[in-house]
Amino acid sequence: MRQLNQALHDSTDGSFEVLRPDGRHAIAVGLDSAATVTIRGHVGYYCGGMNQQATVVVEGNAGPGCAENMMSGSVRVAGNASQYCGATAHGGLLVVEGDAAARCGISMKGADIVVGGSIGHMSAFMAQSGRLVVLGDVGDAFGDSIYEARLYVRGKVTGLGADCVEKEMRQEHATELAELLAAAGFDQADVGEFRRYGSARKLYHFDIDHAAEY
C-alpha cells in the first residue's frame, strides 16, 4: 500500500488503475497532483483522504472515512460509502452514487458532497461551509449545530438537529443546486423537488434560553 501511494504521490498527472483492492485501507490517500486513479473494486477506510487536485474513482463500495479532509479534486464512489464520508472536507467534490451511512459530511468545511441515494443519522453535524445534496432520504439529527453549510434534500428527513431549519429555496439556490447536480452527473434530477436546509443561527452566541440545545 505504501508503494502504491508513493507511486501516486510521485506522479504529476497521468492515469492509474488499481486492481483487486479487496477492501484495503488508505488507498490513494494524500494525493497532490492532477492524476486520475480508478479503483476497480471495494475499498476500506479513508480512500481518497486529504485529496488535492486528483480525480479518484471507486468502482465499488467505500469503507469509513472516504474523502475525509479532502482539499480539492474529486472522489466518486459508484457504490455505497460507509460512515463519515467527506468528514471535515475543505474543498473538492465527493459524489456517492449509492447510499452514504451515518455522519456523512460531518464538520465539512467547504467541500461539495452529492449523494445519489440516502444518508444516515448525524449527517452534516457542525457543518461549517460547503454544500451537501442528497437525492434520497436523510436520517435523524440532520445538520445538528450547523454553521453556514447549505443542505439540499429531495427525499424525506427523519429529523432535524439543533438549530437546523428548512429555508426558502430562492433562485440563487436553485441555480447552485442545478450546477451541483450537473457536476455530479445527476442532471436529470428535478431541482424543484428539493428542499433547502441550513442554520437558524440561534446557537452562534450564548443565549440562556437555548442552554439546553448547546
Our finding on whether 83 is near other proteins (CB under 8 A) is yes
Judged by CB under 8 A, the stretch of 21-29, 85-93, 105-113, 130-138 that binds other proteins is 21-29
**22 lies in the binding site for other proteins (CB under 8 A):** yes
Scanning 38-46, 49-57, 147-155, 162-170 for contacts with other proteins by CB under 8 A, the matching segment is 38-46
Query: Which residue in 30, 38, 79, 158 binds other proteins (CB under 8 A)?
Result: 79
Site string for other proteins, 105-144 (x = CB under 8 A): ---------------xx-----------------------
102 near other proteins (CB under 8 A)? yes
Q: Is the dihedral of CA 126, 129, 130, 135 positive or negative?
A: positive
Give the whole-angstrom CA distance, residue 194 versus residue 121: 19
Element spanning 40, H or E: strand 36-40
Let me know: does 123 contact 106? Beta carbons within 8 Å.
yes
Sheet holding 15-19, edge to edge: 15-19, 36-40, 55-58, 74-77, 93-96, 109-115, 129-134, 150-153, 195-199, 164-167
Task: Tell the smallest beta-carbon distance from residue 27 to other proteins (Å).
Answer: 11
